[in-house]
Amino acid sequence: MITIQFVFYLVGAMFAAYALLSALDRTNPKRFGNAAFWGLIALSLIAGNRLGDLANGGLVIALAALASLKLIGRGVQGDDAAEREAAGERNGNKLFLPILVVLFTAVAGTLLYLYTPLGNTGLFERNRETFILLALGVLFALALIFVWLKPPPLAPLQEGRRLMDAVGWAAVLPMMLAALGLVLADTGVGRTIGELILTVIPENSIFPAVVAFGLGMALFTILTGNAFAAFPVMATAIGVPILIQGYGGDAAVVGAIGMLAGFCGTLLTPMAANFNLVPAALLELKDQNGVIKAQIGTALPLLVVNILLIYFLAF
């Protein structure tokens, strides 16, 4: 059986390669900081399930220290803009083909596996089929790229490292914040919030509970920077005990549209650095919060729409 751990090994090996290439990049004065940062990510993915809670906690603290002390940075990028432009003009929209291969493998492969006799083979770990097929699609796309474009052997890893160096520590922020959400849920924050909300919401009042859930998803996302961190808390507080179990709401609607309500908060917070601050930095905007300001007019009306959709579709 192919399990999700195989995907972790694959991604971990990729980050290990980034660490090695970073250490060899003499144009980057912070190359050893980069190597340590990506190396720790690789260690977490490859051996995190065997390190234990204390070691994993220390690993996270080390990552935070490397980022907060500004020990990671970018080297001098190669001046290959003309070559890239020529390659783009030569291949045109065909360059999107590898991405389509990834998407087709993930979507079509999942559907074929789940709704045909292939699912009875037990080839993939249950409930992890899409993740595994997504990784498989990336391998297929890489094979296509090497056969078609014939790049240098290390080109995919070098370009991946270049992108990760440009994004920096924000690249791992979603994973960290999702883990934070689980920690908050396990420590009882969600239950405490639920008890407080029950003292305010009138009994048998569905709409106020839906509003509290939608606003809570957005507000917790603003505070934590990621709807994946907010969801375990708000699901434990309101989503499951009140909306689904208490009022019989459709779990799929509450969960899916509740996440969309959280994403409205993502548009409004600098805590979502990978979405709002990194693009501003890469585009060299004068206003660091320019992306957030441009999204306010979309986020707030969309939050209202999502709350109404939960109310009308889930009950």
Instruction: Note the pLDDT of residue 58.
Output: 92
Mean pLDDT of 20-40: 92
Q: How far apart are CA 222 and CA 176, in angstroms?
A: 15
Residue numbers of the domain that contains 198:
188-314
Count of Cβ atoms closer than 10 Å to residue 238 Cβ: 27
- Nearest partner of 259 among 241, 279, 284, 233, judged by Cα: 233
Dihedral sign (CA 5, 7, 10, 15)? negative
Q: Does 229 lie in the same domain as 261? A: yes
Structure-block tokens of residue 174: 């979603």
Summarize the confidence of residues 14-21 as an average pLDDT. 95
Name the amino acid, one letter, at 273: A
Residues 134 and 209 grouped into a single domain:
no
Q: What is the pLDDT of residues 222-279, one digit of tens each?
A: 988 888 888 888 888 899 999 999 999 999 999 999 999 999 999 999 887 778 877 7
Nearest CA to 293 among 307, 279, 308? 279
Question: Residue 227 and residue 86: Cα distance in Å, rounded?
Answer: 40
Q: Is 86 found in the same domain as 62?
A: no
Q: Encode pLDDT of 129-149 as tens digits.
A: 999 999 999 999 999 999 998
Residue type, 99: I
Give the separation between CA 35 and CA 237, rounded to whole angstroms: 40
Residue 212 covered by a domain: yes
For residue 168, being part of any structural domain is answered with: no
Residue 156 within a domain: no
Lowest mean pLDDT among 19-33, 106-120, 196-210: 196-210
Domain co-membership, 270 together with 211: yes
For residue 165, tell me if it sits in a domain. no
Q: What is the mean pLDDT of residues 281-290?
A: 78
- Long-range contacts made by residues 118-126, C-beta under 8 angstroms, separation at least 24? 122/1, 123/1, 123/2, 124/1, 124/2, 125/1, 125/2, 125/3, 125/4
d(CA 175, CA 226): 9
Q: Percentage helix, strand, coil, to 5, in the chain?
A: 80, 0, 20
Segment among 8-12, 152-156, 197-201, 264-268 with least mean pLDDT? 197-201
Residue 79, pLDDT score: 57
pLDDT of the residue at 26: 87
pLDDT one-digit tens code per residue, 158-193:
988 988 887 787 778 777 776 776 777 777 777 787
Q: Judge if 102 and 214 occupy the same domain.
A: no
Residue 35: pLDDT band by 50, 70, 90 thresholds? Answer: very high
- pLDDT for 207 equals 93
Please check whether residues 104 and 128 belong to one and the same domain: yes
Quick one: pLDDT at residue 77?
67
- Summarize the confidence of residues 33-50 as an average pLDDT: 93
Beta bridge partners of 2: 124
Q: Distance of CA 157 to CAs 16, 21, 136, 139, Å?
A: 10, 8, 17, 13
Task: Determine the average pLDDT of the residues in 97-116.
Answer: 93
Say if residues 275 and 219 touch (Cβ distance below 8 Å).
Answer: no
**Between these two residues, 109 and 83, which has the higher pLDDT value?**
109
The answer to whether residue 174 sits within a structural domain is: no
Residue at a domain's end among 100, 128, 150? 150
Residue with tokens 């970018």: 74
For residue 48, CA distances in Å to 12, 41, 57 come to 10, 9, 10
Q: Is residue 298 in some structural domain?
A: yes
Least confident of 30-39, 40-49, 178-187: 178-187
The span from the CA of 284 to the CA of 115, in Å, is: 47
pTM value? 0.74
Q: d(Cα 193, Cα 311) in Å, to the nearest integer?
A: 21
Phi, psi of 211 (to 5 degrees): -60, -45
Integer Cα distance of 168 and 162 in angstroms: 10
In a domain, 163, yes or no: no
192 and 310 assigned to the same domain = yes
Mean pLDDT throughout 197-218? 87
Structural domain total, the chain: 3
Judge whether 94 lies within some domain.
yes
Q: What is the pLDDT of residues 52-104, one digit of tens each?
A: 889 988 998 999 899 888 888 887 766 566 666 777 777 778 888 999 999 99
